[in-house]
Structure 1
Amino acid sequence: MLNQKLIALDLDGTTLNNQAVLTHKTIKTIKAAVNAGHIVTIVTGRPNRLSQNFYDQLGLTTPMINFNGSLGHVPHHQWSKEYQYTFDRGIVLDLLTKQREFNIQMIAAEGKHLFLAHQTQPTQVGFFPAVLTHDEQLSPTSLTQNPTSMTIAVARANQKQLQRYIESQFGQQVDVAPWGGPNSVLEIGTKGVQKAVGVERLAHYYHIKRADVIAFGDEHNDDEMIDYAGLGVAMKNATPKLKSLADDVTTLTNDQDGMANYLAHVLKLAE
């Protein structure tokens, strides 16, 4: 009898290679895991607009977790357990007035059906359009709903100062996390919500014991999820902190199909 696993996959630096692409081996391995009866889900910091293509490529039908745990939904379908954490839009509007003071280059407010941004100068942050259309312009009049996530591109020299300001003014409502990698970006989400919140909801939904959750990640926004999982696996290319929290570390990086190789081995999937 199958010991069914819930497999939670981070995207960037984990399931995707360094070109942000799903390799043939990764697709084949995930499909084999699903065909064997396991539940595979994407759990990512990305918004749904930038992850649904991978979900479709993998042929998944499970719920997907976006915005680091703040949105749980089933793409293309209504799901009775869909959820979305939001925070007060006033926080976004306050920071819009502080753009000059903190040398903020861009502010984006997002949700499942929300994408608005305001740029004071072009940014090289790949997740955001270089040119905003008229109906994507963030302003006090266009932002009519509370967002799920806010992303701020800020000059590196001002990043810590801005983070301290947000935490001192709004720290009871939101958490602030700097991105890993080369971009100086702060991500703001609802207080206490991170990837483990979404994974735990799915474990309850599918009646999967925590011991039967396998999670893969590489960055600080995976910390709680890796800690929560019965088998938390850090990528070879993961941060030192994540490796210290993990139960195991892959022998290969995300650019060498490290997750797919590890999963095929641990689930004894036929080649």
Structure 2
Amino acid sequence: MQPKLIALDLDGTTLNPQAQITSKTKIVLKKAQAAGHLVTIVTGRPYRLSANYYDELKLKTPMINFNGALGHIPHFHWKKEYQKTFPREIISELLDQKQKIGIKVIAAEAKESLLIDQPQNLKSNFFPAQVSEQQILKKSSLKSDPAAVTLLVEKAQETKIAHWLKASFGSYVNVGVWGGDSPIIELEPHGIDKAFGLAYLAKNLGIKRQNILAFGDEHNDQEMIEYAGLGVVMQNGTSALKKAADEITPLDNAHDGLANFLQEKLQLD
């Protein structure tokens, strides 16, 4: 069997509903690597919220964060590391329009930086509850362009805000609306998605497209699922994403769906 590049989304895919990696998942991924396959994380999460999972799996491969905007090897200087950004002036405009259009919290991030405007009023675990004075987002603190911006918005205004963002900044950013209960909108550089990051990794790791297995469950996984030689959607994935799947796991992320699928597909017993 040709070595595969196994690309893993985190939330809803590799992680169970308690945001944990199960023992079986760890064992199967370790077996996959021992068999010569490469395992990589391709996530919308920032580095600060994914490094622990990378270390838990004892990976050495490059990792993709911010839905494709950052490609790097944690704890190591990789000469081919990249980070895509968009103009910080967009954030200035968001700060100006925040109250008018229904934005509650704005967080701007890059690999090693985080700025957030209201850490004391958060209602999503994605945002830090406490930050230093230097991490408070203001126009004066915007010193560099972000790789990603995450917005907590008024639920009733979510669709309206997403349309406004696309109309105002669509040539500079991709606008993604999260599924689930939290009304969160994320911005990444225009034209950048998980497929971009995955293709970059595959090229630099010498893996052909047909030998890529990608796993996901949400809207931000679609380009990656469509790009991979085998795009696998979790049983708990969205109906829209399942339409793009080559295969769907018989079990969901609460029942080791990823691990069981890989174990059978790659004959890892």
TM over 0.5: yes
State the shift of 1:103 in Å. Answer: 2.0
For 2:36, give the aligned amino acid.
Answer: G
Correspondence for 1:143: 142
CA distance in 1, matches of 2:119, 2:224: 35
Determine whether 1:256 maps to 2:255. Answer: yes
Identity score, percent: 50
State the shift of 1:130 in Å. Answer: 2.1
CA distance in 1, matches of 2:146, 2:187: 10
Structure 1 moving runs of 4+ over 6 Å: none
CA distance in 2, matches of 1:244, 1:226: 10
Check the 8 A contact 1:104/1:120 in 2, yes or no. Answer: no
For 2:207, give the aligned amino acid.
Answer: I
Determine whether 1:163 maps to 2:162. Answer: yes
State the shift of 1:29 in Å. Answer: 0.8
Correspondence for 1:188: 187
Correspondence for 1:206: 205
Q: TM-score, normalised by structure 2?
A: 0.98
State the shift of 1:99 in Å. Answer: 1.3
For 1:187, give the aligned amino acid.
Answer: E
Q: Deviations over 1:222-267 (max 9, x none)?
A: 0000000111000000001111100000010001010011001111
**How many residues get paired?**
269
Check the 8 A contact 2:119/2:127 in 1, yes or no. Answer: no
State the shift of 1:140 in Å. Answer: 1.0
Correspondence for 1:59: 58
CA distance in 2, matches of 1:120, 1:74: 29
Q: Which 5+ residue runs of structure 1 have no aligned equivalent?
A: none
CA distance in 2, matches of 1:261, 1:164: 40
CA distance in 1, matches of 2:145, 2:158: 24
5 Å-filtered alignment, 1:1-271, equals 2-119=1-118, 122-270=121-269
Change (3 A) 1:120 1:80: closer
Q: Deviations over 1:69-111 (max 9, x none)?
A: 1100000000011001000000011101111101211000000
CA distance in 2, matches of 1:171, 1:65: 23
Q: Deviations over 1:183-231 (max 9, x none)?
A: 1011001111100001101111112111100000000000000000111
Check the 8 A contact 1:105/1:121 in 2, yes or no. Answer: no
Q: TM-score, normalised by structure 1?
A: 0.97
RMSD of aligned alpha carbons: 1.1
CA distance in 2, matches of 1:134, 1:120: 11
CA distance in 2, matches of 1:250, 1:28: 18
Q: Deviations over 1:24-53 (max 9, x none)?
A: 111111111111110100000000000000
CA distance in 2, matches of 1:129, 1:241: 31
CA distance in 2, matches of 1:17, 1:214: 20
Q: Deviations over 1:142-177 (max 9, x none)?
A: 110000000000001111222222212211111111
CA distance in 1, matches of 2:134, 2:253: 36
